[in-house]
Amino acid sequence: MTGNSAPVKAGIAQAKINFEVAQMIFDARAGLSQSALAALIGSKQPVIARLEDADYEGHSLTMLQRIAAALEQRLILRFVPQRSRAKRRPAPSIQARRKLQPA
């Protein structure tokens, strides 16, 4: 397997998401200990530690919503387009665009 294989790229993308979610939770609880956050959501410190572990793959929307509510924050998710693999044609030059415009 190489860095150009689809499974490696998918694994890297998943690892990046896991890291970003873990970091988001860590940043959101700024100033609070893991134990304090756990108490706010009715859980235990090891649960928060696991959620903040970049290797953890079990983040749930429900848990993220509980954390957001406990911290009086909103959770915002969004879909973004994947990068296109198709080569894009370069935009026409200014001269070419002028030729296309009606007189």
For 48-80, the pLDDT digits (tens) are: 999 999 999 889 999 999 999 999 999 998 898
Q: Residue 29, Cβ neighbours under 10 Å: how many? A: 19
Domain limits, the chain: 6-77
Most confident listed range (30-34, 81-85, 98-102): 30-34
Give the contacts of 52 (CB within 8 A, at least 6 positions apart): 22, 25, 26, 34
Q: Distance between CA 45 and CA 65 in Å, rounded?
A: 17
In this prediction, residue 83 carries a pLDDT of 77
Q: Where are the extended beta strands (E) located within the chain?
A: none
Q: Distance between CA 65 and CA 67 in Å, rounded?
A: 5
Of 73, 76, 91, 60, nearest to 32 (Cα)? 73
Confidence check: pLDDT of 95 > 60: no
Alpha-carbon Rg for the chain, nearest whole angstrom, is 22
Confidence check: pLDDT of 29 > 60: yes
- pTM score of the predicted model: 0.71
Cα torsion 20, 21, 22, 28: sign = positive
Domain 6-77: CATH superfamily, name plus number: lambda repressor-like DNA-binding domains (1.10.260.40)
